[in-house]
Amino acid sequence: MKKGLFITFEGQDGCGKTTQINLLVKYLKNSGYDVVLTREPGCSGLGEKIRNLLLDYDGEVSSVCESFLFLADRAQNVDIIVRKNIEAGKIVISDRHTDSTVAYQGYGRKLNIDKINMLNDIATGGLKPDLTYVFDIDVETSMKRVGKEKDRMESAGKEFFERVRKGYLQIAKNEPNRVKLINSVDSIENIHKQVVEMFVEKINNLQNLE
């Protein structure tokens, strides 16, 4: 079975990851790779519906219910899109994945991190990204970038996002081999250059292991 690569992009709202995803996809396609782009929440038809529930609902939401909805969407993404494309030898890029639930629901909503890790494992069937980019940004700048039009998650407030940021920094510290931290307060070109360098380094390391 030929194996592709699984790459995830993470960071607070307003960290600029979407711009960088699009640039990496362009670079990879120009380099001849077969690339599949997906996202969480909102990967497929059903995922879109879960995304709307999560972001548009304006009533009170239990943090556990919120977590299970993100996890349900994740299981759908992995089973319907990610796993089969990796097995087909493609590069799958997911805009957010397991680390978002650790950072937002674990650190942000203060749910138990070990339990979140366990639930993530169930949702993914144990599949782990080969490479994860975490885009780090101070909360003030990120909130300015998000602007006034906020969805339910983006309305959570400054203290919440300080905890989310701390969560991402801890994740990067815990797993330096998988997770690459990038300072998001830099030019788009400089950040893209780093993203590509880290990708090339990962490919070389994996080839050395073969």
Binding site for ligand TYD (CB under 6 A): 13, 39-41, 70, 96, 100-101, 104-105, 151, 153-154
Distance between CA atoms of 19 and 90, rounded to whole angstroms? 21
Question: How many helices and strands in the chain, by DSSP H and E?
Answer: 9, 5
Distance between CA atoms of 95 and 142, rounded to whole angstroms? 17
Other beta carbons within 10 angstroms of residue 118's beta carbon come to 11
Q: Tell me the CA distances in angstroms from 37 to 22, 24, 41, 157, 207, one per residue in order.
A: 9, 11, 13, 30, 23
For residue 27, what are the β-bridge partners?
none
In eight-state DSSP terms, residue 15 is S
C-alpha angle 98-92-138 in degrees, rounded to nearest 5: 50
C-alpha angle 106-108-109 in degrees, rounded to nearest 5: 70
User: Is residue 90 within 8 Å of 4, Cβ to Cβ?
Assistant: yes
